[in-house]
Amino acid sequence: MKVSLVQINSQGNKTANISGAVRLIEDVVGKEHPDLVVLPEYFAFLEGGAEEMHRSGEVFPNGEAYTALSGLAKKLGVTIHSGSMVEQDGDRFYNTTVVFGPAGKEIARYRKIHLFDVEIPGSVYYRESDNVARGKDIVTYKVGDVTVGASICYDLRFPELFRALRDKGAQVIVLPAAFTLMTGKDHWEVLARARAIETQTYFLAIGQTQSHDAGKNWCWGHSMVIDPWGLIMAQCSDGVGTTSARLDMKYLDHVRANVPVANHHVL
């Protein structure tokens, strides 16, 4: 199984963001011929407060981003893991991943479970739960014979979710993110490699990169493919770009056979 990660720098122009993502996907599929392509969190719109974010939302299966990626998956004959975008469901909004199979049909939908709420008196106030509702379902899907698990950004800090994905048969776990520069430089690689080691899965961590909101906020980027032993197989440079890697399921089975942690859980 071959995977390609598409690292982008989304801004407040939704149409331009989608067009840029489409161009990068077409380019990497033409060069690398992957089975699975992954975008970062909020690939279609990453700017402003709740009001702007909500205006960018889509009622699936309609909407500019949903339609574009569905059509692109069918055109290219590839599975596209859409990172995440704003989903509107009645009067509620979700931070949602949609996965499109090679026929262009939706094959999975994951709503982010762990929402980033931080309140530091006199310094930082950000509550994702003020803007989006919390998801509840643990989601996996298939790419050929391989089971892939879904997660988003802040989920990375909660290992119980990844154990649940492993218990549902995940061999690959995807984490699209918009990790901030300050937390990313210290925690992104450490946590992602830990999740790969704990679950003995291939771990795909895909981040937004550089600045948005007119330079007020910065994302860490450093998108990575990590193997089940916790080693980085491929990584994006700073800035917009892609990286690809071939995943060996026989090696995954070898790691799990030699260190059978899944057989030793007592809690």
Burial of 42 (0-12, 13-18, 19+ CB in 10 A): buried
For 120, the 3-state DSSP assignment is strand
Spatial CA neighbour of 177 closest among 41, 24, 47 = 41
CA atoms of 81 and 209, how far apart (whole Å): 18
What interhelical angle do 189-199 and 159-167 show, nearest 10?
Answer: 30
41 annotated active-site: yes
Please classify residue 242 by burial: count the beta carbons closer than 10 Å to its beta carbon, then call 0-12 exposed, 13-18 middle and 19+ buried.
Answer: buried
Catalytic residue, chosen from 14, 47, 87, 153, is 153
Q: Is 153 a catalytic residue?
A: yes
Catalytic residue among 14, 41, 58, 236: 41
- The residues that are catalytic are 41, 112, 153
